[in-house]
């Protein structure tokens, strides 16, 4: 089978015109995890979870002077999750293979192009639109992307419209899924490695099952990054308005600021803040002050323990404030260690469900994340991470494990990513 695949690729590659190129790449990414408090606090009665997940991708990219075609197919599984089996053998899994990317990009004049189909939309620090690469499945979008890029100024316009099936009548859609996501992105370089951008997004959700009413919200704001010899600084501010799925008006915001000071070529350290606005759970206001991060990165912000990936559940939409300090240590060109300390608290007060006349303290706990990365000579990267969380009583109450939470919350993983180019034709 491998000989047939190699021969097919070789014949296709040698028949390509001189101004075209065919690239076949792959990714093999297993990750072993031990969870003792990951995403939710661990109680004394619980037992640690451990497992291995695996992502396998095969991608084909054909590029010609006027167009390019990309197709990527992944398989995502947990070791041992086969759904087709009997007592004497394991036969396989019915639902792990799918299509991750399939798009056509057509190039026009004066730095313009259009991309159609399933594609990744990744911008800036991935606060609102991201690859969500921590998850083995990742995330891609079905849509159209118009792009202008002359290396100093860039404009992207993305359009999408989603349906569950080929409807005969109407356009009803699953309420929990985004019916549409349209955006405009502007970026201007300020120097060799500094730039400022602006993102404006219009998104909409269906009101409820059986309805075609769409509630739309607007999210907009700037982001900038300054990278100098000794200082790296980045910041963003986004405001959100419109109407949420509960028919409430929205007035929410997100603010982030972080920096690194490079003491040497091998060591840098700096503080930061992530501020996501929220609601007062005891308020009867018709305005929603809780910021929706849309399809933004989840694991890359607010700690590796992932307690705050869904703020509606974790802090009752009261918002979150993360004060953190990051430090990076390059042992040599192949070995790096990253340290991050987080101090978490809610934006708004939450009424204590036991002592109803008082509020819970806003302070939720501290987290310490360590990540070691080794980049090999071959196309492989090894990551080893460990995270520790010290929960306060407020966090225990919100997690509904009041009085029974284990004192030591931890999460650790080992991940290998092997990403070779299997075949590259000569241009």
**Which pLDDT tens digits describe the chain residue by residue (427 residues)?**
445 444 444 544 444 445 789 999 999 999 999 999 999 998 877 889 999 999 999 999 999 989 999 999 989 999 988 776 666 666 666 556 678 899 999 998 889 999 999 999 999 999 999 999 999 999 999 999 999 999 889 999 999 988 888 888 888 888 888 889 999 999 999 888 899 999 999 999 888 776 778 899 999 999 999 998 899 999 999 999 999 988 899 999 999 999 999 999 999 999 999 999 999 988 888 999 999 999 999 999 999 999 999 998 899 999 999 999 999 999 999 999 999 999 999 999 998 888 878 899 999 999 999 999 999 999 999 999 999 999 999 999 888 886 666 678 999 999 999 999 999 986 5
Phi, psi for 3 (deg, rounded to 5): -65, -40
**CA neighbor of 223 nearest in space, from 253, 251, 186, 269:** 186
**Tens of pLDDT along 144-175?**
999 999 988 999 999 998 888 888 888 888 88
Query: d(Cα 53, Cα 73) in Å, to the nearest integer?
Result: 17
Q: What is the pLDDT of residue 88?
A: 61
**Tens of pLDDT along 214-247?**
899 999 999 999 998 899 999 999 999 999 988 8
Query: d(Cα 364, Cα 392) in Å, to the nearest integer?
Result: 5
Total residues belonging to the chain: 427
Pairing of strands 335-346, 320-330: antiparallel
Pairing of strands 249-262, 267-276: antiparallel
Name the burial class of residue 341, with classes exposed (0-12), middle (13-18) and buried (19+) by CB atoms within 10 angstroms of its CB: middle
Q: What is the pLDDT of residue 200?
A: 97
**Tens of pLDDT along 319-338?**
999 999 999 999 999 999 99
Q: What is the pLDDT of residue 95?
A: 56
How far is residue 303 CA from its own chain's centroid? Answer: 13
Residue 377: CB atoms within 10 A of its CB come to: 6
**Residue corresponding to tokens 């398989």:** 75
> H helices of 57-184, where?
none
């Amino acid at each position: 089978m491998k000989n047939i695949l190699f021969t097919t690729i070789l014949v296709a590659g040698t028949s390509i015109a001189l101004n075209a190129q065919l690239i076949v790449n792959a990714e093999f990414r297993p990750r072993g995890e031990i969870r003792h408090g990951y995403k939710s606090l661990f109680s004394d009665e619980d037992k640690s979870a451990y497992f291995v997940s695996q992502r396998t991708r095969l991608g084909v990219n054909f590029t010609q002077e006027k167009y390019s075609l990309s197709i990527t197919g992944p398989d995502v599984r947990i070791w041992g999750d086969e759904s087709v089996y009997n007592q004497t053998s394991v036969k396989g899994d019915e639902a792990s293979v799918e299509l991750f990317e399939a798009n056509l990009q057509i190039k026009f004049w004066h730095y313009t192009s259009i991309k159609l189909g399933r594609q990744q939309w990744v911008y800036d620090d991935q606060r609102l639109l991201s690859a969500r690469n921590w998850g083995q499945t990742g995330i891609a979008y079905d849509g159209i992307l118009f792009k202008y890029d002359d290396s100093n100024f860039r404009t992207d316009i993305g359009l999408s419209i989603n349906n569950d099936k080929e409807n005969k009548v109407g356009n009803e859609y699953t309420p929990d899924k985004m019916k549409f996501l349209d955006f405009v992105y502007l970026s201007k370089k300020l120097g060799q490695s500094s730039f400022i951008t602006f993102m404006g997004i219009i998104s909409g959700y269906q009101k409820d099952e059986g309805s075609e009413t769409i509630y739309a919200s607007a999210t907009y704001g700037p982001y900038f990054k300054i990278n100098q010899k000794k200082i790296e600084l980045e910041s963003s501010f986004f405001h959100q308005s419109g109407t949420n799925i509960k028919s409430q008006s929205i007035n929410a915001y997100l603010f982030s600021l972080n920096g690194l000071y490079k003491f040497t070529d091998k060591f840098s350290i700096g503080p930061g803040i992530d501020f996501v606005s929220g609601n007062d759970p005891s308020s009867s206001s018709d305005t929603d002050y809780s910021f929706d991060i849309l399809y933004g990165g989840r694991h890359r912000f607010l700690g590796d323990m992932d307690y705050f990936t869904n703020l509606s559940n974790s802090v009752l939409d009261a918002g979150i404030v993360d004060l953190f300090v990051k430090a990076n240590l390059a042992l040599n060109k192949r070995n790096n260690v990253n340290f991050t300390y987080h101090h978490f608290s809610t934006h708004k007060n939450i009424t204590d469900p036991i002592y109803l006349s008082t509020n819970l303290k806003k302070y939720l706990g501290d987290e310490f994340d360590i990540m070691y990365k080794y980049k090999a000579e071959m196309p492989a990267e090894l990551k080893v991470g460990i995270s520790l969380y010290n929960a306060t009583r407020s966090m225990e109450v919100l997690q509904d494990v009041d009085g029974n939470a284990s004192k030591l919350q931890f999460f650790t993983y080992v991940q290998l990513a092997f990403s070779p180019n299997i075949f590259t034709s000569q241009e």
